[in-house]
Structure 1
Amino acid sequence: MQVRLRRLARILDAQGQMHRREEAELARVVRDGREVETRRHDLVQALGGLSPFHGLFPAPMAHRLNALAIEQDRLRADGEARAGSLIASGIKRKRTERLIGRLRVEHGAALEKQAWLQHLEAFAVTAGGGPDGAGRRGDVRRGASSPSASDASLRPNHPSTAPVRPASHGRQDSEVP
């Protein structure tokens, strides 16, 4: 189980690296989209301004404006695709984290169960009921008997197991000697 947890932890690390890389790529695409929008805005301002070169280069400026619009559309589509990929990788990572969490709980429960079994085996050996039928306190084969659960002295609420109070010799608890 520990091997599986280590492998899943490595997978989770790799998914985290891929997720960060996709975030960086999405940020780059968004940044490039802003730059294209800024260039497009500057070009529109230049076309609408009262520049002496206003009438000389309308065709190249219109061509450049069209190229910027196409590039902006491409970046928008790329950004949407990367955002979808980023969401998908985030979902994969969350699934892996939940799987690791469940495996850690199962592993902890298995370790606790194993520890309890070891305690029970150790108790059984010291109480005389070991795996081979013999213990330190007595040997079942020699006719020694172990106390049964019906023995009154082993019951917690039986009067014979109640703590003995010292005699008060006629004094009440409120009286001080």
Structure 2
Amino acid sequence: MVGPPASGVETLAGLLAAHPELRVFPADARVIERVAPSAVPDAYRRLAEAAGVPRGVRWVDPEPDNLLHARALLAAFPQARFLVVTRAQERAEACLTGRMGWRQGARRRLAEATAVGLEVAGWPEALLVEDEALRGSAQATLQRVLRFLGLGWDGALDEALTRFAPHLARRL
């Protein structure tokens, strides 16, 4: 799962974590930044084993910075699927301003990351997920994501939608 900062990656990851056939890694795992490209598959396998992820269960890595490493991830995992999460530029800017204030070049970096995300979203291995669609119609958006991943709906997602309802109702 990739996306620029403040795009909604955490929200979608939180919802997908409820699906029994998916395991969401901690967002700060930063696996691809810590090892040589040839060691990426083994590093992810070790992380999955350490987390007790059973074989056959799919992993979700919600680290937004993976956007910058999407090509390397696809090379390491040719069967990978990418969920590219985006948010309207003005909403992302407002969210970042509220979270951390403006830092030098933040607007430019956000625009660049969004452009890279839209490029990746054009790949056949990728699906564009707009945060606005998730907030406006969470169940339909999740169903679309699950179809892309080849997974069916699970009742645990109903509970997750209820739990996340207050968060999804917020507009920033």
Instruction: Give the TM interval when normalised to the shorter protein.
Output: under 0.3
Name which one, 1 or 2, has greater alpha-carbon Rg. Answer: 1
More helix by share: 1
Between 1 and 2, higher relative CO (CA 8 Å, sep ≥ 6) is seen in: 2
TM-score, length basis structure 2: 0.20
TM-score, length basis structure 1: 0.19
More strand by share: 2
